[in-house]
Structure 1
Amino acid sequence: MRVMARSSVALFVALLVVASPVVWAQEDDVDESQVLVLTDANYTETLEKHDYVMKLKPEYAGAAKDLESYEPKVVLAKLDADSEKKVASENEIKGYPTIFWFEKGTKIEYPGNRRRADIVRWIKKRTGPPTSDLADVAALDANKPENDAMLVAVLDALEGAEFEAFQEAAKKHEDVTMLTTTSAEVAEALGVAKAKRPVYVVRRAFGESAPEDVSSEGHAAFEGKSLDEQLVSLLKAERLPAYIEFSTETSAAIFGSGVDRQLIVAAGSEALAPGSDLDKLLREASPKLRGRFVVVTARLGADQAKAVVEFFGLAEDPEAAPQVVGFHATETGKYRFPFDELTLDNLLAFAKQVEDGSAPRLLKSAAEPAAHTEEGLTTVVGSTFEKLVLDSEKDVLLEVHAPWCGHCKKLEPIYKKLAKRFETVDSITIAQMDGTGNEHPAAEFRSFPTLLWYPAGKDQKAVPYSGERTVSAFVKFLKKNASKDFKLPKKSKKGKAKKEADADAEEIIQLVALVDVLNALCGIVGGSAFLGFLFWLARLNITYGVLAAAPEVMRGVVGAKLFCKSLRRTEAWLIYKALPTLRKRPDLSVSIPGLFSISYYQFSYVLLILYPFVFIYVFYALLANRRRALRKEAAGGSDARGKGKTKSSAKPPARPRTRKDE
């Protein structure tokens, strides 16, 4: 199943009498006049009414138009799995788009390619005769393949053992169009007019080039015990041209050729031009590689080549020398060309190495992170995969994700929460790897996100995780499959408050800085440094309350309340709140020169014991200073007024007007 940005599913129904639905995964700009919308309410009824049902991608909705006049008639339908959760759950939908075919209530996985033409061909073969007859050259031209090949059986008659054998073979090959003809005109157009019948012709057409016809007569690949085996061998060898340029249009033919191994040659347009040295080399190598390898070219500088360049990590310069890599599609293996020069002998030698597995692996790896594990989640890259994942002492749950993947982003907070819960479990590693920039032979994935379970022990083999993607489901899976028993920490009743306190690390560091102030001032020994610290403490914590108060305010209950309020605002209160956190950090300590070292936790208690006495001393010292200053100001004002009375001309100062005066 391939990943789509949005989660929905598509459903296709082919019906002998009425119609057949197809379900898909996202909205495309296509004519949906033949599309039936499925819901939880009508899903069961639809399956009961129609014999054939299939689920597929929405860009294939165009197949509805192609099948509009076909008998049995075909109808397209779509189902949004996010909205219609009941149907999605019943069909165990875990990836998008999900493709199924329902035949009279029996579900099978759709095996064909997902192009419009492939869907139409598959439906017609599934619901109608496996082959069609070519009566004349016009019919042959009308069936010209697009970036693909077709197989034509030239027979004496449309009956008998040879015809029946071809019909049976055609039923097994839903991915290729298979036709029959008895026309001499068609045989001549295919270049087999003089061949002994039956003869089988592979007609292929790619891009703008004219169709190429390859006959089975005298062909070395046309071998096998049965006609089916002979046709399979012929198609493997001749379905594709000498080499094929990678593009969106040709990708289905490349990966649907039946040949798993590929040789990819990346070069500029000039190097790949017809008649060039590279063109001649690839054509010369083709007969020796057919049936074993698909030779694929990537035209550097073209948009279609970007996917190849990114996937294999190639240089993008069109002027650079041709680059060659090997690829095994089913094993997802990538191989590096080990020779300095591209020659026919070196290319064939490299192909042999890819076949026997001795070719050097080509692996991508991002830079190794400074910290492998943060909050229980281990980040894996290609170069650290062996060390962090293939650890014989630990079980590993690995998520392979992509930065652009919508489903990965949805899983991210769940996966991080899982990692946090297992942070203290030493026997299990919760890990993740960016699959777009990292690779390893032991991590096979074709979609994102992929979850792989690596049990502890030697010769580990990944086990795909296919359960629900919730924390509880993950925990249940780990408890069932872990090689060692483990115990998760219990959640505290005051978990939320504790979490907030622990997260407040910056305030704790500031608190530690306060302790370091005393340490820098040579401990709690008397002297000018200690007095300097006391004045700093007073200015920071008490001044706002004491210096602004009149003497009468500081008497009695009011003064006591202000004292307590001021004390609560000091660092002593912060120290008290930080004690539980400091207790967990025995590595933090205070050194008093020439004496001893104690931990921050122990030293905090020393501070708390000394702090009230220091605070009381400073509080009342400042208060006394304030009172003296106020008395001095009062005395100075009285003297000034007394001196003023000796002058007869002096007038008493005006009394401020009050509301009563008015």
Structure 2
Amino acid sequence: MFKLLLFCVFAVAIRAEIAEEDDVLVLKKSNFEEALKAHPNILVEFSGRQADDFINWLKKRTGPAATTLTEASAAEQLIEGSEVVVIGFFKDVESTDAQAFVNAAESIDDVPFAITSSDDVFSKYEVTKDSVVLFKKFDEGRNTFDGEATKENLLTFVKANQLPLVIEFTEQTAPKIFGGEIKSHILMFLPKSSSDFQDKLDQFKKASESFKGKILFIFIDSESEDNQRILEFFGLKKEECPAVRLITLEDEMTKYKPENEEITTDNIKAFCTKFTEGKLKPHLMSQDIPEDWDKNPVKVLVGKNFEEVAFDAKKNVFVEFYAPWCGHCKQLTPIWDKLGEQFKEAEDIVVAKMDSTANEIETVKVHSFPTLKFFPAGDDRKVT
């Protein structure tokens, strides 16, 4: 849950009609303006969707969502000073299309918007009719909106073009990557020091042109220590790179691996095409079955023996899904070992563990560590 704090000091007593709980004012949309009038300086805690609503409300309250440009020099300065900027060119800024543009601007807080009816600005950027143009310091340099000017269409246009065709995964770009509308991501793990780095990046970028707005293309420096956890998540090691993987960030994260791992434009396009057509099977990681997997009281499961053990209708199976680096998992280890020791003689009870960073099961999705699941005996068993 996201929280937004406005730091301030209470100044005067609020009007009696605003309710209190434990000496804290309870604010709603209906009384928020009233509270601000009574308290110019106020500390407010927002949570969840309220934070997003407040950002949009604050933008409207403190000034226009789109800067008005009256001179070409002002437009030039705005474009030069921004990585991405969206300008609406409208002969009549009160027109229906212009108002749709302003409404779209009010919904996006990380991209500057501007609006102009100036002939000077129109001429400077060779715009001859009402248009919306996205200027950017990468790829094509600018994109012109083509379609019916509705708030929804304009938002789609901006979100599809505000990021580079290929974006590097960093701490700074992560929020845009994960917070964007595109939930299908193809990742190229490639060391920047590689002699053919630029060639592979060019091949990757060329393939991305065919899937703009559908799949986000990301490259990850596989040599960076900051990225090693990501490699682990995909079951990769530095020496296995360059490599390509695709993942969907929907309710259930699903990974895909190309059959041909040679990084060429044609191979990547073919891989992505199969994905968009629904012709790919998920890639499930699995370690080899250890020779001594059942030697100790706590059995060791991997992808290749999981179903055979966990789905045995004659056994009650309790499994810990863990990550080797997880502190909570390490704290659980002696307790789990003790549990295994207690039931080691029971023929119908199995206590087991599986490293979920290296093994995946299609029927069991693990989103946090440790995750404990119980598979009761019986053909109609329900996992708990």
Deviation track 1:88-136 (CA, whole Å, cap 9, x = no partner) reads xxxxxxxxxxxxx44xxxxx46787xxxxxxxxx753244429622234
Deviation track 1:313-358 (CA, whole Å, cap 9, x = no partner) reads 33524xx884222222223222222126433322211112233444
Shift of 1:289: 1.2
Matches within 5 A, 1:161-560: 161-169=96-104, 173=107, 176-177=110-111, 179-182=113-116, 184=118, 193-197=126-130, 199-204=131-136, 212-217=141-146, 227-269=150-192, 270-273=195-198, 276=199, 278-317=200-239, 322-330=242-250, 331-339=252-260, 341-359=262-280, 361-369=282-290, 370-372=292-294, 374-375=296-297, 377-392=298-313, 396-412=317-333, 429-452=350-373
- Indicate the RMSD between aligned Cα atoms, in angstroms: 4.5
Shift of 1:293: 1.1
Q: Residues of 1 paired with 2:299 and 2:40: CA distance? A: 55
Q: Residues of 2 paired with 1:427 and 1:302: CA distance? A: 47
Distance 1:424 1:300, change over 3 A: closer
3-state SS in 1 of match to 2:304: helix
**Is it true that 1:13 corresponds to 2:12 in the alignment?**
no
3-state SS in 1 of match to 2:300: strand
**Which residue type is aligned with residue 132 of structure 1?**
A
**Which residue type is aligned with residue 249 of structure 2?**
A
**Contact 1:242–1:282, Cα closer than 8 Å, also in 2:** no
**Which residue type is aligned with residue 310 of structure 1?**
E
Matches within 5 A, 1:56-205: 101-102=46-47, 108=48, 123-129=54-60, 132-135=65-68, 136-137=74-75, 140=78, 144-145=82-83, 151-156=86-91, 159=94, 161-169=96-104, 173=107, 176-177=110-111, 179-182=113-116, 184=118, 193-197=126-130, 199-204=131-136
Q: Residues of 2 paired with 1:384 and 1:185: CA distance? A: 71
**Contact 2:90–2:116, Cα closer than 8 Å, also in 1:** yes
**Contact 2:10–2:41, Cα closer than 8 Å, also in 1:** yes
3-state SS in 2 of match to 1:334: strand
3-state SS in 2 of match to 1:258: coil
Deviation track 1:383-406 (CA, whole Å, cap 9, x = no partner) reads 222223344555655433223333
**Contact 2:66–2:105, Cα closer than 8 Å, also in 1:** no
What is the TM-score when the length of structure 1 is the normalising length?
A: 0.45
> Percent identity, aligned pairs only?
26
The unaligned stretches of length 5 or more in structure 1 are 2-9, 20-42, 53-70, 78-100, 103-107, 113-121, 464-662
The structure whose Rg is larger is 1
Distance 1:138 1:383, change over 3 A: same
Deviation track 1:392-430 (CA, whole Å, cap 9, x = no partner) reads 555655433223333334445555566666667766655
Q: Residues of 2 paired with 1:325 and 1:354: CA distance? A: 12
**Contact 1:236–1:290, Cα closer than 8 Å, also in 2:** no
3-state SS in 1 of match to 2:185: strand
Q: Residues of 2 paired with 1:166 and 1:395: CA distance? A: 60
Q: Residues of 2 paired with 1:186 and 1:440: CA distance? A: 61
**Contact 1:266–1:300, Cα closer than 8 Å, also in 2:** yes
**Contact 2:185–2:216, Cα closer than 8 Å, also in 1:** yes
**Which residue type is aligned with residue 292 of structure 1?**
K
Deviation track 1:42-62 (CA, whole Å, cap 9, x = no partner) reads x9647426669xxxxxxxxxx
Deviates more, 1:286-295 or 1:361-370: 361-370
**Which residue type is aligned with residue 260 of structure 2?**
F
The unaligned stretches of length 5 or more in structure 2 are 12-19, 30-38, 69-73
Distance 1:413 1:183, change over 3 A: farther
Q: Residues of 1 paired with 2:127 and 2:325: CA distance? A: 57
**Which residue type is aligned with residue 248 of structure 2?**
H
Deviation track 1:243-263 (CA, whole Å, cap 9, x = no partner) reads 112222222222222112222
**Contact 1:248–1:304, Cα closer than 8 Å, also in 2:** no
Q: Residues of 1 paired with 2:26 and 2:49: CA distance? A: 20
**Contact 1:13–1:74, Cα closer than 8 Å, also in 2:** no
Q: Residues of 1 paired with 2:5 and 2:310: CA distance? A: 44
Q: Residues of 2 paired with 1:11 and 1:437: CA distance? A: 34
**Which residue type is aligned with residue 442 of structure 1?**
T
Q: Residues of 2 paired with 1:294 and 1:461: CA distance? A: 37
3-state SS in 1 of match to 2:305: helix
Partner of 1:481: none
**Contact 2:160–2:213, Cα closer than 8 Å, also in 1:** yes
**Contact 1:240–1:257, Cα closer than 8 Å, also in 2:** no
3-state SS in 2 of match to 1:436: coil
